[in-house]
Structure 1
Amino acid sequence: MDSQNGLSLYLAVMLTAIILAIVFGITTILLVQLEAIKGMENSVVAFYAADTGIEQVLDSGRLAPVSTCTTEATACPLDNGSKYYVVVNSGGLGGCPAGKLFCIKSAGIYKGAKRSIEVKY
């Protein structure tokens, strides 16, 4: 009977160690997934900043970039901390197909996420 006393303590310690390892593993997976979800949120904000750049050009009634927002270095800031820049090319120039009148490319940037939209017509 004395040899059985150590066995139950050993089983309790092993079971606790296994459960603890499972909990740490699940926690690690969840933390990685939370970082990915946060990155997706930033990506959506960057996409909408790029959309704002396209809308600014289309709403202005002229096919020219708004002010000096034509490079990443001179990007126009928005109220939510994101930025955008717009490049407008005529058909046959700057990668715009010759059969199109204009190509508008806008890029949005937010907390390291960068998304682009291109409109060809």
Structure 2
Amino acid sequence: MEKRIINPWKWQEERSYVQAVEVKNVESTLYISGQAAIYPDGRSSNEDIKSQTILALSNLEQVISEAGYQPSGIARLTIYTTATAEFWPHFHVLQDWIAKHDVKPAISMLEVKSLFETLKIEFEATVVK
């Protein structure tokens, strides 16, 4: 698999994403449904958005791993949140996770009216290898 990053500018590098990712010679593609702060027993977290972000990223990583992929293969990451203003002070949690796994994704973030039950954040990804 070949990944080519397209960044006409440099400013997005501080925000831990890229403008576009071209992927060639893909062996396979994994489409991951939204991963949120849901515990292994199926209970939704009612904790703050920082705690929910950590758990949601852990769940995303687990799905990627169990499918036989690597987080570095994430080409597209969509973030859904019910509280953008609450998320910004904890954006570094996502940035640290991205840096740890050498992820260079195209990212979109949307604020939505609600998510399932008490959830505040959800990550949807497309992963390639």
Q: Identify the structure with bigger relative contact order (alpha carbons < 8 Å, sequence gap 6+).
A: 2
The answer to which structure has the higher helix fraction is 1
Normalised TM-score (structure 1) = 0.27
Q: Which has the larger radius of gyration?
A: 1
The answer to which structure has the higher strand fraction is 2
